[in-house]
Amino acid sequence: MDKEAASKLREQLRPHLKDFLRNGNVDFYPPALTVCPHCGGQAGLNEDGTWLCPKLTGCGAGGDVVDYAMENLRMPENEAIRFLCRMFGIRITELDYVTSDEVMDMEFHDPVFVVDGLLSKGLTLFAGTSKIGKSWLALWLAHRISTGQSIWGFASRPCEVMYLCLEDTLDRLQRRLIEVTGGETGTIYLATDAEIMGNGLEEQLIGFLSTHPKVGIVIIDTLQKIRELGSEKAGYAGDYNAMTRLKGIADRFGVTLLAIHHTRKAKSNDPFQMVSGTTGLMGCADNTFVMLKDNRAENRTKLFGTGRDIRDMELSLCFQKNPMDWVLEDCTVGGFRPSRDRELSQIAAFILERQAWEGTATELAEALTAQDAEFDVKPNALVRILNANASLLAEHYGFQFSAKRVANTKLLRLTAGEAEAI
């Protein structure tokens, strides 16, 4: 959405500030006081449809309804405008688009993981047969993540956890917590009851995450308990819509949302074909795990993973009771090779020989061509190849890439090992 279109929509939305406060259950004291979404202080409402938190008693933040929604819901400007337009029935008549050249020149952050290589921020679907131990494993994961312990060799980033254990009671959870944690755990918030989607769940999650910024992962056990009544009858559309709502919340707050689900009874050679429901569930999820056992009485299980941010994997796990643990016995992780492997390998050889290099894209292309006459990539395309594969360079090729603009010149820096700031 360009600036002109955004400005026009802001003008149409401006009179709806008080309506947004009422609809969002924000504290509103008619006719002219509300809560500052930035600092929580007392903010005033102006007749022109804006709000202001006084500098003398607050933080000095202010703006229109879009600015309020951006702060209150943690949304970027364009997303907040779209959200408000849908809320108040204002049509967006201009198509939002970018050119392929603009996309190629964008610089994106690497995927952020709560557990490196295993659980990325976004929506993860975790499916398994009934009574296979999904809830035990979910609680074990919550404990390990909340205390910053590694999981099967994958490093975790300690954070607070929200666990919606909707098929359990508090007394059962107490017994399980003792077995899983030994009586000592990090911060895990537990809820045994929640609304369903479309009837308050989204608002409950948004409200909780807004007031608990240290939460890095939300576990919903199970997906079926929070589905809208009758939504499963809508087939693919119903499945995809349910997952889209959850993914929107996960992406908005930058958390991992792990949705526990069931597998179907019918067997399949492809474990992911056993996820109950339509392909709409996996189609929307960023990553999917399926937990299977050959025999329910066995203490060994297989965990299969696939997704946008993780490699295909198969983990062989052994469930031990004393102490409660899930032990990794074998791990097979699928190989991965970028489509521009030849060019990236040539760049890696150039950098690893020098350890560090800095200059323009033209200078880099010339240096690479001088080293290997078969290297034939134009400077502009060279930067785009590095941009598109930035998250893979260190792991696969042993160097990292960064860029900065000095006056009208874009300088590239490539370093062996850890990246250096420029």
Name the superfamily (CATH) of residues 3-88. Zinc finger, CHC2-typedomain (3.90.580.10)
Can you give the pLDDT at residue 104?
80
In terms of pLDDT, which residue wins out, 418 or 153?
Answer: 153
User: Within a 10 A sphere around the Cβ of 125, how many other Cβ atoms?
Assistant: 25
**Residue 65 pLDDT > 60, yes or no?**
yes
Query: pLDDT by residue (tens digit) across 260-288?
Result: 999 988 888 889 999 998 888 998 999 99
Q: How far apart are CA 268 and CA 417, in angstroms?
A: 43
Q: Which residues of 180-199 are buried (b: 16+ CB within 10 A; e: fewer)?
A: bbeeebbebebeeebeebee
Tell whether the torsion through CA atoms of 128, 133, 135 and 140 is positive or negative.
negative
Give Cα separations from 280 to 242, 243, 313, 395 (angstroms).
9, 8, 22, 32
Could you confirm whether domain 341-416 is CATH 1.10.10?
Answer: yes
List the one residue out of 128, 82, 148, 164 whose CA is nearest residue 296. Answer: 128
Say if residues 302 and 331 touch (Cβ distance below 8 Å).
Answer: no
pLDDT tens by residue, 128-148: 987 888 999 999 999 999 999
pLDDT 10s digits, 398-420: 898 888 888 888 899 999 875 44
Two tokens at 359?
């200059």
- Top pLDDT among 124 and 72 is at 124
Per-position b or e across 357-367, b if 16+ CB within 10 A of its CB? beeebeebbee
Q: Give pLDDT tens digits for 16-47.
A: 998 888 876 677 777 788 888 888 888 999 98
Architecture of the domain delimited by 113-333: 3-Layer(aba) Sandwich (3.40)
Determine whether 12 is exposed, middle or buried from the number of CB atoms within 10 Å of its CB (0-12, 13-18, 19+): middle
Is the model's pLDDT at 200 over the cut of 50?
A: yes
Assign 3-state DSSP to the chain and report helix, strand, coil percentages, each to 5: 40, 25, 35
Q: Is the pLDDT of residue 1 over 70?
A: yes
Q: What is the pTM of this model?
A: 0.72
Mean pLDDT calculated for residue range 232-256? 84
CATH 3.40.50.300 range(s) for the chain read 113-333
What is the mean pLDDT of the segment spanning 367-383?
A: 89
Look at 315 and 75; give whichever has higher pLDDT: 315
CA distances from 291 to 51, 131, 272, 322, 375 (A): 51, 11, 10, 22, 46
Return the SS3 of 397. Answer: helix
pLDDT of residue 183: 81
CA distances to 277, 283, 333, 386, 418 from 237, rounded to whole Å, are 11, 11, 32, 37, 45
* Contacts of 49 by beta carbon, 8 Å cutoff, 6+ apart: 14, 15, 16, 17, 64, 65
What stretch(es) of the chain map to CATH 3.90.580.10? 3-88
What is the reported pLDDT for 187?
Answer: 93
- What is the location of CATH 1.10.10 in the chain? 341-416
Residue 215 is inside which H or E element, if any?
strand 215-221
Q: Provide, rounded to the nearest whole percent, the portion of the chain with pLDDT above 70.
A: 95
